[in-house]
Structure 1
């Protein structure tokens, strides 16, 4: 089974190279890594150029993460799809463990794992306390923790581009409603970086509002037609 990995990046020069290296450095490497530069104005493009033919680099005008991820999926050729955020890190055996789980049970459509949250070393000391997570390690039902069969991803449809911050929450809710067959490996597969640029931790009011919108869409989709 060939794995394609999709990474959306916007003004991600601080952490992007480390994220890409964590994907390329897997004990079972992916067949391709597709990185979409979502109209960055910093040094993101130079970082992508540095990786050369080791990745597939795409560009688009700034349109949001959901649009970028959908664009990457349209290019990806693998029959298994993984995701990494531009500021997060895959643990070295993520693909090895998740591939083993999927190969041992052909009925499974997606494999998840645990996420370990850490405050980025570059966060100033006087800002670190506000970013400290209540729980460091927890089950990771996040897109960067998921490895999914392309057939299943296509079955549940594309990500909702009207929900730039919570599109995966909405998608996973829809997938669960439609019976996605998923399981978790009992190990950390992603290290989630907490820093001052995390929209969900800094702009909590906006994210909460978008989460409500996603829930309303999910409820409306479950209602029988009039």
Structure 2
């Protein structure tokens, strides 16, 4: 799924022979929901174009999933890295977490596609925080979630990360998520 990226991701993916669907500025939740409805595999892993899976991430997530037969979602940790094209002045403005950290980032987890039948899809009204909201739905639906103590995602930090540019909007979305659950 390509949410009208401006970094040539669409053309790069097409050149590899991958099936790529373009969504016109619908947001991450809409793009993920469309992709989910088109997916035919048993497992789902979301990966944003600017992030990178750690070596052996898929193997480690799959093994952890298979070790517990009732497991629906397995999450690993993320580790930040600074995009190499940034100047030293830009790098100084970034808050880089040196160690692996937990949290609900899309590329950190392997998800059984069937869990979406119980939890529902991502809330397309949220422009950020949609993964946290969905994970709360997953837990409320009684899905079994497991976390492994391994870095599975390398999260690229750059000057256009959504959280950096839209902090106020992001906080409003998290407030809406909390209100929904009160």
Tell me if both proteins adopt one fold, taking TM over 0.5 as the criterion. Answer: yes
Paired position in structure 2 for 1:47: 12
Per-residue deviation at 1:177? 2.5
Per-residue deviation at 1:154? 2.1
With over 3 angstroms needed to count, the CA separation of the structure-2 counterparts of 1:120 and 1:41, relative to structure 1, is closer
Per-residue deviation at 1:137? 1.6
With over 3 angstroms needed to count, the CA separation of the structure-2 counterparts of 1:187 and 1:76, relative to structure 1, is same
Give 1:168-179 correspondences, 5 Å limit.
Answer: 168-179=131-142
Per-residue deviation at 1:216? 1.3
Q: 1:167 aligns with which of 126, 130, 134?
A: 130
* SS of corresponding position for 1:122: coil
With over 3 angstroms needed to count, the CA separation of the structure-2 counterparts of 1:120 and 1:136, relative to structure 1, is farther
Instruction: Establish whether residue 106 from structure 1 lines up as the match of residue 69 from structure 2.
Output: yes
Point out the structure with the larger strand share.
Answer: 1
The 2-side partners of 1:136 and 1:60 are apart by: 34
What is the TM-score normalised by the length of structure 2? 0.92
Paired position in structure 2 for 1:212: 175
Structure 1: stretches of 5+ with no match in the other structure: 1-35, 220-226
RMSD: 1.6
* SS of corresponding position for 1:57: coil
With over 3 angstroms needed to count, the CA separation of the structure-2 counterparts of 1:97 and 1:209, relative to structure 1, is same
Instruction: Establish whether residue 78 from structure 1 lines up as the match of residue 41 from structure 2.
Output: yes
Per-residue deviation at 1:112? 0.6
Please say if residues 73 and 144 of structure 2, whose CA atoms lie closer than 8 Å, have aligned partners that are also in contact: yes
Structure 2: stretches of 5+ with no match in the other structure: none
* SS of corresponding position for 1:132: coil
Structure with bigger RCO (C-alpha 8 Å, 6+ apart)? 2
Please say if residues 89 and 190 of structure 1, whose CA atoms lie closer than 8 Å, have aligned partners that are also in contact: yes
With over 3 angstroms needed to count, the CA separation of the structure-2 counterparts of 1:129 and 1:96, relative to structure 1, is same
* SS of corresponding position for 2:134: helix
With over 3 angstroms needed to count, the CA separation of the structure-2 counterparts of 1:78 and 1:116, relative to structure 1, is same
What is the TM-score normalised by the length of structure 1? 0.75
